[in-house]
Every structure is written in structure tokens, then in C-alpha cells.
Structure 1
Amino acid sequence: MDAQDLVALIAARVATVPRLMVGIAGPPGAGKSTLAESLCTRLNADLATTPAAIVPMDGFHFDDAVLEARGHRPRKGAPHTFDVAGFHHLLTRLRGNEPEVALPVFDRSQELARAGARIVTPAQRILLVEGNYLLLKQDPWAKLKPLFDLTVFLPVPIGELERRHIQRWLGYGFTPEAAETKARSNDIPNAELVVRDSAPADFNLIY
């Protein structure tokens, strides 16, 4: 399946349900956010009467102060550094089609989540939920999958993910050695976990 096929599938399925929740999962660095933004733009252009919105998992990062207190700051981005219960509650509210639901959004420039940074209304009948661990089989993450009407996984070879993460840290001014250490100490273990322990998605998409 490619992105064009996915747009067509979403357009067909949303006609049959009050709200369609699409889970876009994959390892860190696979391109989930980029895909979600591209899909949202395309869907909002093609289906003007059925608006789409993005629901990012990253808004549920624990704050650095919490991670520091727990000794988890070096592993920020790993499954145990997210408020999974809060995220599950948000998705449950979105399935309930409440009049208005506020979402937290992660601000990468400040490395923190901003509460109430985005609003979802009933008019937005297509929700593109994106995150690393949406299909993880470990509890409590395993409770998320039943909340999605459609799931998509972005498979990317570990070698390519390692290259992308090292390049990312180089872009932040790290030396080549430090960038490689940074990627291999956290990013790549997280990616390997997602690839190894995610439940099968309805579709795989190369993006």
C-alpha cells in the first residue's frame, strides 16, 4: 500500500462510521509525523466536508522534571516515559465524540508538552493518531489497538533508522562519535522494540 491508496481507503471507510480513527505506528524516525501531516493536508483538500485532524502521541511525554526524579531522563522517548493512561483516556474521549476535546502537543523546541494546544471538534471525523507505540503488545500499551478503526505500520530497516538518527543528532551539533552514541543508546533500542513487539497492523506502508 502507498499513501495514495491509504487516502482512498480512508475516504471510503469514513463514509460508513461517525468518526474514523486511524492509528499510524512505526519506529522512531520512520516518518510517521510527516505521513500524518501529508495525509491530513490531502484529506482536507479532497474531503472538505469531512475534515481530518492529527492526534500525536508525543503530547503525553512525561515532563523532564518527572523523568529526572525517576532517573529516566536518558531514556526519554522509551515506552515507560509516557503517560499511557492519559493517552488512552484521550482516545476514549475522542471515540465518544465529545463536543470539544483539547489535546496536548509536544514542543520540540522546548522539549516539553503544551497542554490544550490543539482542539478536536465533532466536525473532524477523521483522526490520524500517530506514535511509536500504538501497536505495542506490552501492557498497558496493548489497550490502545482496539480503539482504532484502521491501523498502518511504517516498516523501515534498522540500519536506515540508525543512519537517520545519527544524522539528526549531527544536525543538533553533536560530534559524529557523540551522535552515534546518542542514537545507539536510546533511539535504536526503542526502534528495535517497536519492530520486534508491535502487533500486526492492517496495512504496512513504505513512506
Structure 2
Amino acid sequence: MDQRTDRPLSPYRHFSRADWARLREDTPMTLTQEEVTRLRSQHDRLDMAEVEDIYLPLSRLLSMYVAATQRLYRAQQKFLGTGDAKMPYIIGVAGSVAVGKSTTARVLQALLARWPNVPRVDLVTTDGFLFPNAVLERENLMERKGFPESYDISALLRFLSDVKAGRRPVTAPIYSHLVYDVMPNHRVEVDRPDILIVEGLNVLQAGRPPRDGSAVPFVSDFFDFSVYIDADEPVLREWYVDRFLRLRGTAFSDPKSYFHRYAKLSDKEAIDTATSIWERINLVNLTDNILPTRQRAGLILKKGANHLVSDVALRRL
């Protein structure tokens, strides 16, 4: 464990990669190489070593946290004399565009679902709670897509409230990255899972609370644990541009793609276009809305330019 004395007082315990990896202890590797390959996003470089060093220790920690929460639930159940079913343990995954949130969320889902008691682990992305493009266009918010005001926060809060209340089943809208819009009449069902992972850019966002105090004000108020995936801005910019270049020959080449117009760009045109989008939209969102929420996370995974986690910060209890 990092015991350096030059670090200022912090609510976090800081670990080097090697120190964090040792906390895996005897947690078994339950994913195959083929499964890891399928779980990572196209531009990520997740490999077996990253799963073993970073995500298996995190899986072990979360298994302890979930077990402790269930013990607390049983204590309250005994105190109240009730027979209510246990509520899902909700994990939030936050971070910038292109940082690897989706891969992290999928890996955690796969690992947690392999625990001996085979819990049900569901995954929902907040993209589905974006307002439809028609609404964003009407409100002149298309260039603010991914910013807090582009989400139907009331619907997202209702969804999480229903999940925590044990309502079954609960459904969430589905977003298509191909057409860059919410899909009408397409929904994913969440039916009382043991664990629910909620992944999104602004899931740790804190806004102005309701004056009358009658509603749960923030998405993160429903989280039992949260993870922030971090990387320096120049690194994120490079990853975003690299992903844009890769997408020219894959998703953008589909005539149905919202970004099909970018498929024939030259390398220079694509780099200039991606850099402009990053600076005009994603960098502003990162600086104004996403990065300021980093210190609200229970765990911060800091990535280097090689896409690998170099440092881990775990919030003290």
C-alpha cells in the first residue's frame, strides 16, 4: 500500500497498480481470453493481465461490500419484523467520453455474475435516458448531447426509485449509437437483480436540489458504490480522435449511421473533425460537468496513455 508522506490528507487510500493487484489474493479468474476480447470496446486494450490486476481485486471488494449490505438489511428486517425482499445493490460507473466506461461496466457485470451464488447482475446505460433527438433539436440542445440538461433526469430518477423500491419489472429505454437516438418502443427490462450497474457520463452529477425536499435530488443518491474512470485530458483527446478514425471503417460506413457522412473523410479531415468535436463539445462537458464529480466516487481508476490502470484510489469508510 502507498504510504508516502508527501501526499496531502485525502478521503482516499491510494494504491499503486502492484499494491492493488496483490489485494486479489485467491480470487479466481472466471473469464476466458475469448470472453475478455468480446467484453472490451473496439478501441480499448483490455487484456487478461488488466482483469487480473485491477478488476478481480475490485470484484473481491464488491463481493464483501454486497455481503455486508445484505447483513445490514437482515438486521433492519429483524428490527422491523418485516419480510421485505432485499433491494438491488447499485453500482455507478462514470467518466469521460472515450475513457472506457462501457468496457469497465461489462467486465464488472461478467465478473460479479460469476460469484459462487450466481447473482443476477443487470447493466443499464444512461444513454437511454437522453431526450430523443427531436426534443433536443427543438430545444437547440443537439450540440449539448451528453450534458446534464440533455437527459430526462426525472425519468432516470423514477427508474432508479422503482428499482430500489423492489418494483418488478422495471423498464428502461434503449439508445442506438448507430442512429444516434433513443429507439422508440424499445426497452430493457430490469426485474429485481441482485446487482444493477448504471453507466454514464454524468451519473455522479450533483445539481440544485428541490426546494421542498420532497424528491431524491441526484442519481448518485441511489448508488451503493461508484467508480470513476480517469485519464488526463490530452490522453482522452488522443483516444477520442483514434476512436473516430477507427469508426470511419466500421460503424460510420453503415448507411444507416447518423455519422455516415464522416465515412469518406481523409485521415487529415477526420483528425480535424474529431478534434473540433472534442474541443467544442466533449472537452467542455468534461471540464464543466464530468471531472468536477470525480471526488464523489467511491473508487477512482486512473489510466495512463497505454489504456492500463496505473493508480487506484479507494474512498475511506
TM-score > 0.5 by shorter chain: yes
**Residue of structure 2 equivalent to 1:121:** 191
Does 1:41 pair with 2:116?
Answer: no
**Residue of structure 1 equivalent to 2:218:** 143
Q: Give the deviation of 1:62 after TM superposition.
A: 1.0
Counterpart of 1:159 (choices 234, 244, 268) is 234
Quote the Cα distance in structure 2 between the aligned partners of 1:69 and 1:63.
Answer: 10
Q: Give the deviation of 1:169 after TM superposition.
A: 2.6
Quote the Cα distance in structure 2 between the aligned partners of 1:138 and 1:163.
Answer: 30
Residues 1-207 of structure 1 mapped to structure 2, 5 A cutoff: 2-15=54-67, 16-17=69-70, 18=86, 19-114=88-183, 115-122=185-192, 124-139=193-208, 143-170=218-245, 171-172=247-248, 173=263, 174=265, 175=269, 176-193=271-288, 194-206=290-302, 207=309
Q: Deviations over 1:122-171 (max 9, x none)?
A: 2x211111111111232369612221111111111111111122223333
Q: Give the deviation of 1:75 after TM superposition.
A: 2.1
Letter matched to residue 31 of structure 1: G
Quote the Cα distance in structure 1 between the aligned partners of 2:205 and 2:294.
Answer: 4
Identical residues among aligned pairs (%): 24
Quote the Cα distance in structure 1 between the aligned partners of 2:244 and 2:127.
Answer: 19
Q: Which runs of 5+ in 2 are unaligned?
A: 1-19, 21-53, 71-85, 210-215, 249-262, 303-308, 310-317
Q: Give the deviation of 1:47 after TM superposition.
A: 4.2
Larger radius of gyration: 2
Native 8 Å contact 1:133 1:198 kept in 2: no
Letter matched to residue 231 of structure 2: V
Q: Considering Cα pairs closer than 8 Å and 6+ residues apart, tell me whether 1 or 2 has the greater RCO.
A: 1
Q: Give the deviation of 1:10 after TM superposition.
A: 1.8
Q: Cα RMSD between the aligned structures? A: 2.0
Q: Deviations over 1:39-74 (max 9, x none)?
A: 111111234531111021111111111111111112
Quote the Cα distance in structure 2 between the aligned partners of 1:153 and 1:137.
Answer: 15
Q: Give the deviation of 1:23 after TM superposition.
A: 1.0
Quote the Cα distance in structure 2 between the aligned partners of 1:99 and 1:133.
Answer: 26
> Under a length normalisation based on structure 2, what TM-score does the superposition of the two structures give?
0.61
- After the TM superposition, which parts of structure 1 deviate over 6 Å for at least 4 consecutive aligned residues? none
Native 8 Å contact 1:26 1:133 kept in 2: yes
Q: Which runs of 5+ in 1 are unaligned?
A: none
SS of match in other structure, 1:205: strand
Quote the Cα distance in structure 2 between the aligned partners of 1:201 and 1:144.
Answer: 13
SS of match in other structure, 2:114: helix
Native 8 Å contact 1:23 1:150 kept in 2: yes
Q: Deviations over 1:81-116 (max 9, x none)?
A: 111111111111111111211111211012122355
